[in-house]
Amino acid sequence: MASKLNVVTGATGLIGSHLAEQLVARGERVRALVRPTSDTTFLERLGVELVRGSLNDRAGLKRTVDWADVVYHCAARVGDWGAWRVYQEEVIDATRNMLDACRAASVGRVVYFSSITVYGKPRNPGQIAENEPRGQRMRFGDHYCRSKIMAEDLAWAYGPDATIVRPGWCYGPRDRNSLPRIIKALQARRVWLIGDGQNLLNLLYAGDVAAGAILAAENPNARGQAYNLCSEGELTQEAFLDAITDALSMPHVRRRLPYKLAYSLGFLSELIGKAIFLKRPPHLTRYGAALVGRPTSFSTAKARTQLGWQPRVTAREGIRLTLEWLRAEPGSPLYQPQPSAELSRVS
């Protein structure tokens, strides 16, 4: 009998690649929708079936999800920088197209990857559970939060066969955004502790998020539910930066910037960036200041009790694995090319 077929969007990204890796390790079939220009080397090594296409191609999406047992929709615009039309197309419209294709193909299980960002800025920063209202005190121009809420609404409308998972700040091998950006800033001496540095970070290894999503797809009680898949706080901001700088033999960061000042400077940087049509995010944004400096805790009790989910990779081990991967990844700020066998023999 044919093994279970899983369709993964965003499989060349951080969480999606870990998801594909774990599903293949379980002996299950994986089909990935990838852009024609994406680097699929890792997925090809895994033996993943590749479908080159777009989330805007409705006919192609229908063929992609045909006969799927589970669809994991990971692909989306990530981050806080960009025009609203980009989030409309890459988060909302893309999710609508995928769910329409799943509906047409009668897919029985859909797992939508949202974000803890959907909660906005709750006044009470402690232990935010899944029943907390979404979109609280949203920042002006927070397109990412708004678009993820709207995409969640589409997933809820799919019916009880959909499950929503809300990851936090993720990292791990194949992280091409988060840790590389921090490392570049450390190398340029642009990093400050925001506030006193003692706030706990919602930082979680991407493989643990993938494992939680698989548990949710398999558990019949997870139908129609949402789950926080993030850290309840393992490392403080200061300890996190110390772990990175220690691994890189760099001095610890001890310069401090008050949180309110960092947030205000982020807003000013955004205004300047938009005025000069900056394509990349400014070095400091309100989202970045809040992500690193704000003391916020998210409850994962629901995922632990209902799914039996438990993060397995400690932050320090995850950082080690990520840095190890970055040293071998061409184009990363830590890339260390290895001498070829011919050169080694000559030397």
pLDDT tens-digit series, residues 139-162 = 887 888 999 999 999 999 998 999
Q: When comparing pLDDT for 234 and 265, which is higher?
A: 265
Query: What separation, in Å, do the N-terminal and C-terminal C-alpha atoms of the chain show?
Result: 54
Q: Is the pLDDT of residue 32 over 90?
A: yes
Domains identified in the chain, total number = 1
Q: Shortest CA distance to 65 belongs to which of 116, 31, 91?
A: 31
Instruction: Say if residue 345's pLDDT is above 60.
Output: no
Cβ atoms of residues 259 and 194 within 8 Å? yes
The domain spanning residue 329 has which CATH number?
Answer: 3.40.50.720
Q: Would 345 be classed as within a structural domain?
A: no
Confidence grade of residue 3 (pLDDT, cut at 50, 70, 90): confident
Does the residue 347 lie in any domain? no
Assigned domain for 67 exists? yes
Is residue 177 within 8 Å of residue 117, measured between CB atoms?
no
What are the start-end ranges of the H helices in 26-90? 41-46, 58-65, 84-87
Q: What are phi and psi of 295, to 5 degrees?
A: -80, 95
Note the pTM of the prediction, 2 decimals: 0.92
Q: Where is pLDDT greater, at 232 or 61?
A: 61
Task: Specify if 260 maps to a domain.
Answer: yes
The per-residue pLDDT of the chain, averaged, comes to 90
Domain span at residue 307 reads: 5-335
Q: What is the mean pLDDT of residues 22-30?
A: 96
Q: What is the dihedral of CA 293, 295, 296, 297, to 10 degrees?
A: 130
Q: Is residue 298 part of a domain?
A: yes
Exposed/middle/buried for 33, CB within 10 Å: 0-12, 13-18, 19+?
buried
Question: What DSSP string describes 104-150?
Answer: HTT-SEEEEE--GGGGB--SS-S-B-TTSPSSBTPPTT-HHHHHHHH
User: Under a CB-based contact definition with an 8 Å cutoff, are residues 325 and 178 in contact?
Assistant: no
**Residue 105 CB neighbours (<10 A):** 18
pLDDT of residue 46: 96
Q: What percent of the chain has pLDDT over 70?
A: 96
Q: Judge whether 187 lies within some domain.
A: yes
Asked if the structure places residue 47 within a domain, the reply is: yes
Query: 342 lies in a domain?
Result: no
- Would you place residue 82 in the very low, low, confident or very high pLDDT band (cuts 50, 70, 90)? confident
Distance CA 343, CA 39 (A): 28
pLDDT reading at 71 higher than 90: yes
